[in-house]
Amino acid sequence: MTRLSCLLAALAALALDTRADSLRLVVQHDYLPQIPVLVRVEVLKPDGSKNRDLWDAQATLTVDQPGVTLSTNSVTLRNGVGSALVTFAGGDDFNLTATVGTSQATRLLHSAASQPVTFVAGTLPGTSTTWSGIIQITNDVTVPSGHTLTIESNTIVLVNGVASGTTAPDLFVNGAIQSLGTESNPVTITCANPGMRWGQIRHNNAQPSLYRYTTITLAGRAAGEGHTTTAPVIRPMNSVITFESCSITDHADASGQPGKIMYSLSGSDLTFNDCLLSRARMGPEISGTALLCTNTWFIEMRGPDDSDGIYLHDQQAGQSLRLVDTVIAGGDDDAIDTLGSVVSVENCILRDWSNPNEDAKGISVFHGETDVRRCLIVNCFAGISAKSSGPLAKVKIEQSTILGVTNGVVAAFKSNATAGNILIEVTNSIVVAPEAIRTDFGLTNFSIGFCNLSSNWPGTGNLAGDPMFVSAAANDYHLRTNSPCVDAGDPASALDADGTRADLGVYPIFQASGEAPSITAQPLSRIVMAGDNVTFDVTAAGTPSPNYQWLSNTVALAGLTNSSVTISNVSASNDGDRFAVVVSNTAGSITSDTAILTVVGPPQLAQPRLLLDGTFRFALSSDAVRTYQIQATTNFVDWELLDELVNTNGLIDWRDTNSVSFDYRFYRVHSKP
């Protein structure tokens, strides 16, 4: 393919991206009143991929049946994905709708309250079992060696729970599980008792198993293991398990008790694709295990000590550990914690691991080797930190963007890691922090070249200064066209997709022919009354035609991608909101001035009084400098415009000199349209 044809193909692909985002709503079809249901919401780009650029968003949940109530109507999304455990009461069938900005998705939920329940306990007989409908596990269930348990789509598996302790019904798998949910009819495995939790699923020397579109919630009442000494919900040993489009969530409270996602031991092989792991003490902790994790979200791992997104011990010979296209967002310790392992991290976003009490890090490396390529690490107490008690700790960072709260990249001395046997290589990257590069030993810990750093560091091609992100305040870490990081990479590196020299950081600019956007009319600040609608507009030029993304208080507004934005029914809570818009095309981007919304109360007519000459007088009270119209009527149908006033001081007297001509008269005031 010629360079011209590549350019045209890229432009065509970009043109498709001007279409609006869409929503995916994944929720079980059948539900039981008072049994919590996991609702998973995703914002998808036109190509069907998750919109990771949508940094934070809220989805609102609504139902179309007034008899159905929700325990919560909000889902928080991180980089386009989020979930909430929702209890539906009322017992009716209904349509559940999720809304993010102007995008919506709807699913029908059917009450299964009248369906029969099949009770199960003990060892499954024979060589195969199929579960469908509603299954209730009343005591431990064992899938013996040579046996395959198939769980059909739309099956609800209820496991009896306990309120406390470490003993509850478990599922022991020595054979195989095939849990075959679909997007429209997932499998659900959850607790049978509201407010309680069940045990765990243990794969021990098992045959290969598959969990597809399977939701696993409210477990963790089992013996604690591993670094957190909390119960793993999934416990593989020498087993192969594939998780496709699964959600494993809500296994710990805010204190980090009782459960973590997984503890995998020697000889296991795990694959996660398109999964969501959320709200547990820790994500997977794995040792002697192979891992391939792609297109998966780890969100909100909370609790004291080792509340990591994922903990990677050393693997066995021939095993690899890879995380690709993955988001690890929000927790109390490290996004990725390694111990003697060889790890590859590519095209991942690690964000919001900023707990100073745990010296939280985007990636913590203890011995071993960690390769980081095309990753964005943001709002972590330290971006990447390596330490050693003797063996080599090696880190290679390429084409990544790192923003640390205190430090960007660190060669660290710790009480349990006093050796300086650390080598960190950084190339074609951006590191921003109060101390971008820190070593507790010496300069020889680092080899840094062709990087943009927030402080000076020796090395070929290194820059110091503002990398000129599109809008760091709005978490848009793409580069502006005039950024010093454009075409500043190592000349020996592979060219960017547009055929130009490598840019620095995670997001290269596509340098196409054309004219970067310019704003010819900025959005203007507005003053409106509570209950009114307000519109902000921008006028921009550029070739090709620009795209728009509106921001409110620096947060991107999902689906609001036109040259104007209308906010309906504003309230006092919107007073002071700040609106701006990022205007972009293939040749560059620009952020508008900020427009401020002021919300005032309605005007009032006060202090009415009849004067001695027979004329009527009153005061106009209002909160803003704007034009008001005073009107009068005798029949509430025909209103006569009497005057237009600009109220400059909040209170102004006005007299109707013609009131003597009427036996009675009624007055009203409103702002001029």
pLDDT of 190 > 50? The answer is yes
User: CATH for 21-111?
Assistant: 2.60.40.10
Q: What is the pLDDT of residues 470-489, one digit of tens each?
A: 999 999 999 998 999 999 99
Q: How far lies 219's CA from each of 37, 123, 168, 254, 522, in Å?
A: 14, 21, 9, 15, 53
- The per-residue DSSP string of 291-334 comes to EEEES-EEEEE-SSS---SEEEEPPPTT--EEEES-EEEEESS-
Confidence of residue 460 (pLDDT cuts 50, 70, 90): very high
β-pair partners for 337: 311, 364
Q: What is the pLDDT of residues 58-74, one digit of tens each?
A: 999 999 999 999 999 99
Location of structure tokens 């590859």: 344
Confidence of residue 3 (pLDDT cuts 50, 70, 90): very low
Q: In degrees, to the nearest 5, what angle opens at C-alpha 307 toward C-alphas 302 and 310?
A: 120
Q: Per CATH, is 515-599 categorized as 3.30.310.50?
A: no
Summarize the confidence of residues 512-540 as an average pLDDT.
87
The reported pLDDT for the residue numbered 18 is 43
Q: Given the DSSP bridges, would you call strands 564-567 and 534-537 parallel, antiparallel or unpaired?
A: antiparallel
The reported pLDDT for the residue numbered 126 is 97
Region of residue 505 (left: phi > 0; alpha: psi -120 to 50; beta: else): left
Q: Which of 132, 210, 193, 182 is nearest to 27 (CA)?
A: 182
The reported pLDDT for the residue numbered 314 is 96
Q: Which of 657, 653, 656 is nearest to 621 (CA)?
A: 653
Q: Which of 70-79, 347-356, 649-658 has the lowest mean pLDDT?
A: 649-658
Please tell me the distance from the alpha carbon of residue 403 to that of residue 326, in angstroms, as a whole number.
18
Which residues touch 57 (CB under 8 Å, ≥6 apart)?
43, 76, 77, 80, 82, 100, 101, 555, 556, 558
pLDDT of 4 > 70? The answer is no
Beta strands in 592-648 (DSSP E): 595-600, 604-610, 616-621, 626-633, 640-647
Please tell me the distance from the alpha carbon of residue 361 to that of residue 377, in angstroms, as a whole number.
9
- Phi first, then psi, for residue 203 (nearest 5°) are -100, 110
The reported pLDDT for the residue numbered 625 is 63
pLDDT of 16 > 90? The answer is no
Q: Which of 13-17, 72-76, 396-400 has the lowest mean pLDDT?
A: 13-17
Q: In degrees, to the nearest 5, what angle opens at C-alpha 264 toward C-alphas 263 and 267?
A: 165
Extract the tokens encoding 357. Answer: 């009490």
Higher pLDDT, 452 or 529: 452
The reported pLDDT for the residue numbered 586 is 76
Report the first-to-last Cα separation within the chain, whole angstroms.
58
pLDDT of 610 > 90? The answer is no
Cis amide leading into 391 (omega within 30): no
pLDDT of 601 > 90? The answer is no
Summarize the confidence of residues 399-414 as an average pLDDT.
97
The reported pLDDT for the residue numbered 7 is 34
Q: Given the DSSP bridges, would you call strands 626-633 and 640-647 parallel, antiparallel or unpaired?
A: antiparallel
Q: What is the CA radius of gyration of the chain?
A: 30
Domains 21-111 and 515-599 share a fold: yes
Is residue 46 a contact partner of residue 16, using CB atoms and an 8 Å limit?
yes
Is residue 355 a contact partner of residue 333, using CB atoms and an 8 Å limit?
yes
Please tell me the distance from the alpha carbon of residue 637 to that of residue 608, in angstroms, as a whole number.
22
The reported pLDDT for the residue numbered 673 is 65
Is residue 549 a contact partner of residue 564, using CB atoms and an 8 Å limit?
no
The reported pLDDT for the residue numbered 92 is 84
Is residue 546 a contact partner of residue 518, using CB atoms and an 8 Å limit?
no
Please tell me the distance from the alpha carbon of residue 109 to that of residue 62, in angstroms, as a whole number.
12
pLDDT of 424 > 60? The answer is yes
- The per-residue DSSP string of 233-262 comes to EEEEES-EEEEES-EEE--B-TT--BEEEE
Percentage of the chain lying above the pLDDT 70 cut: 96
The full set of domain ranges for the chain reads 21-111, 359-510, 515-599, 602-671
Architecture (CATH level 2) of domain 602-671: Sandwich (2.60)
pLDDT of 98 > 90? The answer is yes
Confidence of residue 13 (pLDDT cuts 50, 70, 90): very low
Q: How far lies 606's CA from each of 620, 622, 628, in Å?
A: 6, 10, 15
CA dihedral 314, 315, 320, 324 (to 10 degrees): -50
Which of the 8 DSSP states describes residue 73?
Answer: -
Q: In this structure, is the dihedral angle defined by the CA atoms of residues 429, 430, 433 and 436, taken in order, positive or negative?
A: positive
Confidence of residue 605 (pLDDT cuts 50, 70, 90): confident
SS3 content of the chain, % helix, strand, coil (to 5): 5, 55, 45
Confidence of residue 11 (pLDDT cuts 50, 70, 90): very low
Confidence of residue 17 (pLDDT cuts 50, 70, 90): very low
Q: What is the pLDDT of residues 206-253, one digit of tens each?
A: 999 999 999 999 999 999 999 889 999 999 999 999 999 999 999 999
pLDDT of 19 > 70? The answer is no
Confidence of residue 512 (pLDDT cuts 50, 70, 90): low
What size, in residues, is the chain? 673
Q: What is the pLDDT of residues 535-576, one digit of tens each?
A: 999 999 988 889 999 999 888 888 889 999 999 998 888 888
Which residue type is seen at 84? A
Which residue type is seen at 92? D
Beta strands in 475-587 (DSSP E): 476-479, 515-521, 526-529, 534-537, 539-543, 547-552, 555-556, 564-567, 578-585
Extract the tokens encoding 598. Answer: 């002021």
Summarize the confidence of residues 320-346 as an average pLDDT.
98
Helix or strand run (H / E) with residue 10: helix 3-16
Please tell me the distance from the alpha carbon of residue 120 to that of residue 84, in angstroms, as a whole number.
28
- Phi first, then psi, for residue 392 (nearest 5°) are -65, 135
Please tell me the distance from the alpha carbon of residue 263 to that of residue 310, in angstroms, as a whole number.
10
Confidence of residue 513 (pLDDT cuts 50, 70, 90): low
Q: Which of 294, 287, 290, 365 is nearest to 320 (CA)?
A: 290
Confidence of residue 2 (pLDDT cuts 50, 70, 90): very low
Location of structure tokens 């009248």: 114
Q: Within 13 A of 184's CA, how many CA atoms are on the CB side? A: 3
Summarize the confidence of residues 298-313 as an average pLDDT.
95
Location of structure tokens 């019904």: 169
Which residue type is seen at 11? L
Percentage of the chain lying above the pLDDT 90 cut: 76
Summarize the confidence of residues 438-444 as an average pLDDT.
93
CA dihedral 153, 154, 160, 162 (to 10 degrees): 100
